Amino acid sequence: MPVDITWWGHATATVRDSGVAVLTDPLLTRRCAHLWRRRGAVPPPAVLGADVVVVSHLHADHLHLRSLARLAPGTPLVLPRGAVRAVPGLRRLAARLPVYELTPGEALPFGPVTIRAVPAAHDGRRLPVGPRRVSALGYVIEGASRTYYAGDTGLFDGMARETGPVDTVLLPVGGWGPGLGHGHLNAERAARALTRLRPAHAVPVHYGTYWPLGFAAVRPHEFHAPGDEFVRHAARLAPGVRVHQLGHGERVRVPVGPAVRE
């Protein structure tokens, strides 16, 4: 059975496997704090019909309370362990959304799909406040296929061991500002991750969407280029992986055989 992946921009994507729609790190507004959406339309209301939502870590561009508040009552929300305690706004959401907190290695079934939490090399605390440390996660969505959504992460020893065999990966290849700090993948490091994970398909995410207000002329290459650079580095380092560079709102259908872009 094919798996449909739609990239909405930044780290927000819908992975539909076995009829279950999993929405990742929903950021559904034009503005997030000092960041403005410079490319791609805001995701349509249809994304709110997801069957389950996963949040990788507590940074505001991944755990965005205004976007989560728009989810339909009863939508399951999967979070890193300790998130509700660390982010008071989540307590209000938990009154109408079933909340599940996971640590690496734990898994939950949602119909024919299982969502398994895996580690990420990223400081996932809620900043600038939030003294409690809450580990960032990635997720492996296991149904008819195995799709790894990395969230935000750097390369780390044991990455492939933690994820296990995967068919498709959604990897961050950039950021939202003129520089990337520790615990991130740029385009080349993301391509090197392919050599460890050895998937059949890859979709670059987390680039070319949000940029700080007033920074349009500051290192614009860092905004526009990561997707193209990932394609180039992946062709050199992992030529056996088929990379699907999607535009905002574009979908790829990943079957057992060749993928079909729509």
pLDDT category at 123 given cuts 50, 70, 90 is confident
- Per-residue pLDDT reduced to its tens digit, 71-80: 999 999 999 9
Measured CA to CA, the distance from residue 243 to residue 234 in angstroms comes to 8
Residue 132 has pLDDT above 70, yes or no: no
Q: Is the pTM of this model over 0.75?
A: yes
Q: How far from chain centre, in Å, is Cα 47? A: 15
Quick one: what percent of the chain has pLDDT higher than 70? 95
- Per-residue pLDDT reduced to its tens digit, 205-221: 999 999 999 888 888 99
Average pLDDT for 125-147:
83
Structure confidence at residue 205 (pLDDT)? 98
Residue 181 has pLDDT above 90, yes or no: no
Residue 130 has pLDDT above 60, yes or no: no
Average pLDDT for 169-174:
98
Average pLDDT, the chain: 93
- Per-residue pLDDT reduced to its tens digit, 231-242: 999 999 999 999
pLDDT category at 89 given cuts 50, 70, 90 is very high
- Counting beta carbons within 10 angstroms of the beta carbon of residue 151, is it exposed (0 to 12), middle (13 to 18) or buried (19 or more)? buried
Q: Which residues have a Cβ under 8 Å from the Cβ of 144 and sit 6 or more positions away?
A: 1, 2, 3, 17, 18, 112
Q: Which residues have a Cβ under 8 Å from the Cβ of 132 and sit 6 or more positions away?
A: 82, 85, 86, 125
